[in-house]
Amino acid sequence: MRDSARALVEQAAGAKVTASRPLSGGCIGEVYHLSLTDGRALVAKVGGAGSGLALEGAMLRHLAAHGAPVPEVLRADDHLLLMTFVPSGDALTPRVQDHAAHVIAALHDNAGPCFGFAFDTVIGGLPQPNPQEDRWVPFFRDHRLLFMAGEAARAGRLPAAILRRIEALAARLDEILEEPDHPSLLHGDLWTGNVLAHQGRLSGLIDPALYWGHPEVELAFTTLFGTFGDVFFNRYHDLRPIRPGFFEERLEVYNMYPLLVHVRLFGGGYLGGVDRTLRRLGI
């Protein structure tokens, strides 16, 4: 860790750093595990002006205020995000997934005033617009599906022919998707690396991309890279029943958004998934 960053940490923590080691993970900033003279273990993300670390801290604090298990934020600006260390390293075993279902269902029980959020957020370092709207389907169509498809196309990573097929899907969303009972608080980026587990429990959620939305878009995302499986979904369904048709069709539609995020970030390797999804949807 650079001396300037160490000085910021020690000022914020009120204790000296005795050891630091780099950690993997996160799309923005350098990440370190820190040991302090007072015995605490902290995590520091170090960035600079415009890094987005202040935004990440604001999202974590919002999740904490709504009961989610996240690191406590000690300092949050674009130069330093300082957090408590959350024990982790365990696999997402059936026992962990059962506990995770309770955690995520409780998160989704938080009802918001509208879809979107009070400010724009990010996903994987990419902008995620959150204008506040009264209906979910237009919000998902315009500010998730079409927005990210446009970003990928402008970056030269989404061919025009596939963009036209996505626009055709967008025109049909009112026939496929459903409005939820209320806007739910979503973590927004529940891939495996953002779900921490320790001693048979979900110990923490990190790197959010939060907004108020339909819980189904979050549930779908957890299937894309195998974060959760049947144990999670069975328990979640016990707590918050999943409406018919989700696994058969709506899941595929919702996963177009994270697929397009990956197309925008990483390019053609994910185009096959977009094409196959569109074909399965008859487009």
**Which of 78, 90, 98, 189 is the catalytic position?**
189
Q: Residues 254, 259, 262, CA angle at the centre, nearest 5°?
A: 145
Cβ-defined contacts of 250-253 (< 8 Å, 24+): 250/176, 250/177, 250/178, 250/216, 250/220, 251/216, 251/219, 251/220, 251/223, 252/220, 252/277, 252/280, 252/281, 253/169, 253/173, 253/176, 253/177, 253/281
Q: CA dist 141 to 38, 88, 218, Å?
A: 50, 36, 15
Nearest to 73 by CA among 207, 198, 203: 207
Known active-site residue 109: no
Q: CA dist 125 to 35, 70, 72, Å?
A: 28, 19, 21
Q: Provide the strand spans (E) within 24-153.
A: 30-36, 41-46, 73-76, 80-84, 121-123, 126-128
Residues with catalytic function = 189
